[in-house]
Amino acid sequence: MLLPLAAVIFGFAVLIWSADRFIYGAAALSRNLGVAPLVIGLTVVGFGTSAPELLVSAFAAAQGNPGLAVGNAVGSNIANIALILGITALISPLMVSSRILRREMPLLLAVMAFAGLLLWDGHLGRLDGALLLLALAGVMAWIIHTGLRGRSDATDPMGAEFDAEIPREVPTPRALAWLVLGLVLLLLSARVLVWGAVNVAEVLGVSDLIIGLTVIAIGTSLPELAASLVAARHGEPDIAIGNVVGSNIFNLLGVLAFPGLLYPAAFPPEVLTRDFPVMAGLTLLFLVMAFRLRRPGRIGRPGGALLLMCFVGYLVWLGYSM
């Protein structure tokens, strides 16, 4: 038990640090190549925070643990909304002013509905994985197009927020070095983390799905938590919320695709009867608070407290389900 537990702790620590270095190097390199800050923020930074979930799910699926892989994807989305936005809103109420972000929110609903349809039969196969990746490519193209349009819109606050946060004056060799080092350590730490988590689950007699929904999901969501807290502290609420929206889209299309591609199999039925409905309900609650057609949305401290209470209630439900 001691060695697997140490592997989980060590894997999380290296995973979080290497994800930060990977995003830093990728963002700095993209700026040096002349990519617009808004495009970098919507793609490299937004989806880069989901790199831990992607690699952990890929390794879990490759080792024949689809429950852990699917649980990580769905559980990370639950943690992103209920835990991360809940904590961030409690510390600093979040205003949604960006028109670009308000266009991404309905897209999250559409992506969630599409993923739910593919999961409806209780089996995640290679065709499902291929369709999810194809949808991800389409979403990426749409987001890049939106970012390029938004580059000329100086009134949208998200562009200015990303411009202030993306690293400047980082030499290209140094940016490339951080990018490569971050990627290598991400791969190694994800492998160590999955090995430790599977062995801990076996020792405790807990299912891979529960481990994926709780320990792994919360741990791999820590980069999003750090990014959202920093953005909120700097007075950049659109980035804080945009990180969560972008990460959840990527989790549903990119992270969820790998179990189907690498280990086609049926997944635990609790995903459809318990976890996916919780994720869908939290997503709708988040959008009700944050989305307004003609005026800025707002997630205040009461909303943050409500989201955190939902997360605690979900964990209690999981505890009774064990």
pLDDT value at 293 more than 60:
no
Are the beta carbons of 81 and 217 closer than 8 angstroms?
no
Share of the chain above pLDDT 70, in %: 92
What is the spatial distance between Cα 322 and Cα 318, in angstroms, rounded to a whole number? 6
What is the spatial distance between Cα 216 and Cα 57, in angstroms, rounded to a whole number? 10
Would you call 123 helix, strand, or coil by DSSP?
Answer: strand
Lowest-confidence region among 35-39, 156-160, 203-207, 269-273: 156-160
Amino acid at 78: I
Lowest-confidence region among 45-49, 89-93, 149-153, 248-252: 149-153
Return the pLDDT at 277. Answer: 96
The mean predicted confidence, pLDDT, of the chain is 85
152 pLDDT tier (thresholds 50, 70, 90): very low
What is the spatial distance between Cα 35 and Cα 47, in angstroms, rounded to a whole number? 16
pLDDT value at 156 more than 80:
no
Q: What values do phi and psi take at 266, rounded to 5? A: -75, 145
CATH code of the domain covering residue 131: 1.20.1420.30
Domain count, the chain: 1
124 pLDDT tier (thresholds 50, 70, 90): very high
How many alpha carbons fall within 13 Å on the CB side of residue 315?
14
Instruction: Domain of residue 189: give its range.
Output: 2-321
Using CB atoms within 10 Å of the CB of residue 109, give its burial: 0 to 12 exposed, 13 to 18 middle, 19+ buried.
Answer: middle
39 pLDDT tier (thresholds 50, 70, 90): confident
Global confidence as pTM = 0.87
Bridge-partner residues for 297, per DSSP?
96
Work out the average pLDDT over 6-35: 84
Would you call 99 helix, strand, or coil by DSSP?
Answer: helix
Would you call 293 helix, strand, or coil by DSSP?
Answer: coil
With vertex at residue 126, the alpha carbon angle to CA 120 and CA 130, rounded to the nearest 5 degrees, is 90
